[in-house]
Amino acid sequence: MPPDLWDLHALMFKSRCFEEAVRQVWWQGKISGEMHLGMGEEGIVAGIVSQLQDGDAMALEHRGTPPLLMRGVDPLALLREFMGRPDGLCAGMGGHMHLFAPALLAASSGIVGASGPAAVGFALAGQSQRPGSVALAFFGDGATSQGMLLESMNLAVVWKLPVIFVCKDNAWAITTPAEGAVGGNLRARAEAFGMPAWEVDGRDVTAVWQVAQVALQSARAGNGPAFIWAHCIHLEGHFLGDGLLDMLRRPVYSLQKRGWPMLKSFLRPKGALWGERIASLRQVLSNVAAAQAQTNHHDDPLTFSRRSLKAEDPARLAQLEKDIREKTRQLLASALSEGQPA
Ligand SMILES: Cc1ncc(C[n+]2csc(CCOP(=O)(O)OP(=O)(O)O)c2C)c(N)n1
């Protein structure tokens, strides 16, 4: 049966609104440390997570908020966690990167590549304790050459483990472009390990859903792991306050903060040759341009789903989004008005 785009859009939009609220709280200084959002990845996450069943597991990386929300974690517990509160999902000790929802068999880690071994562990346990279940491993392109991830893929094939390896490829690992760090073709790599692999446009939630359906069926039937390579963008750059995006969004502030140190190092009497300095400066400018391309709303998965739904029933779409916005507003208000628990 084809997926219901209304349901998938609602999942994606809930996640988007929640992360917009998180962004607001972070800029207010009420969340300490870094904050990596999944804005731009929702098409990939919704297309896959919406098909999980009881007993399935998720091993997540530093962008764990959308999958956890879509799997049903209490958003208030998540927001409290990010704010470091003792009544948060992990008693305020995990922050946004190290989350654990035992009832949903979901765990995240900020160690790049660690979702591979964690998913293999989930799948190994699932094979004997929850036959027919699967484990997801979500990771970015920056993790694809990590030894532990490649070892996990190999082990999953050898032991025929029901793992779905999902690469959410935005073509960047912080400021390192994938073309300078990832050799070969990721689909061919996975196939070389002996697992079926698909490449899909992560902006298109329906396309992801369809590929994931085949991958999940295969893993549940005992055929071993599968690999999904999905392309996406990150609308907020690598993390909130991303320096490259900041140069575009707050040029005056950025010039004050970064312009003078950059000029000083550029003009230093000792150091690199002039040609190298100019090349470095050019590299920074081209990274800023690339960061802007990452935030192109034409590539937003919500723009994609909205286009189809608007054509079908604009009033229904407006109402759906209004309701979700209102619920998120109430959630945020209640989180911000709470005192610390005794
Ligand atoms: C083992 C390890 N090395 C380096 C880092 C620092 N680090 C955090 S996020 C990141 C980039 C990850 O890029 P990617 O996997 O493509 O995910 P994205 O942030 O683009 O979603 C790096 C290098 C880390 N957390 N863990």
pLDDT digits (tens, 9 = 90+) for 107-122: 999 999 999 999 999 9
Average pLDDT over residues 37-63: 98
Confidence category of residue 342, pLDDT binned at 50, 70, 90:
low
pTM of structure: 0.95
For ligand 1, say whether the CB of 63 is within 6 Å of any of its atoms.
yes
CB 25 within 8 A of CB 79: yes
pLDDT of residue 293: 84
Could you identify the residue written with the tokens 């293999």? 120
Q: How far apart are CA 284 and CA 31, in angstroms?
A: 29
Which of 51-60, 256-265, 271-280 has the lowest average pLDDT? 256-265
Q: Which residue puts its alpha carbon closest to atom 17 of ligand 1?
A: 140
- Amino acid (1-letter code) at residue 183: G
Q: 58 pLDDT exceeds 80?
A: yes
Mutation test residue for ligand 1: of 174, 236, 240, the one with most atoms within 8 Å of CB: 174
Q: What is the DSSP string of 202-250?
A: TT-HHHHHHHHHHHHHHHHTT---EEEEEE---TT-SSTT-HHHHHHHS
In 63-214, beta strands by DSSP E: 100-101, 106-108, 135-140, 163-169, 172-173, 176-177, 197-201
Q: What are phi and psi of 194, to 5 degrees?
A: 105, 25
Average pLDDT over residues 229-246: 94
Average pLDDT over residues 109-138: 97
For residue 258, how many other CB atoms are within 10 A of its CB?
14
- Amino acid (1-letter code) at residue 127: Q
Could you identify the residue written with the tokens 């759906």? 320
Domain boundaries, the chain: 5-236+297-337, 243-294
Mutation test residue for ligand 1: of 34, 37, 60, 112, the one with most atoms within 8 Å of CB: 112
Q: How far apart are CA 290 and CA 287, in angstroms?
A: 5
pLDDT of residue 178: 93
Please provide the average confidence, as pLDDT, over all residues in the chain.
95
> Under CATH, to which class is 5-236+297-337 assigned?
alpha beta
pLDDT digits (tens, 9 = 90+) for 18-46: 999 999 999 999 999 999 999 999 999 99
More confident: 245 or 66 = 66
Centre of ligand 1 to C-alpha 72, Å, is 26
Question: Could you tell me the two tokens for 227?
Answer: 């690999």
Q: 128 pLDDT exceeds 70?
A: yes
Centre of ligand 1 to C-alpha 113, Å, is 8
Centre of ligand 1 to C-alpha 187, Å, is 20
Q: 239 pLDDT exceeds 80?
A: yes
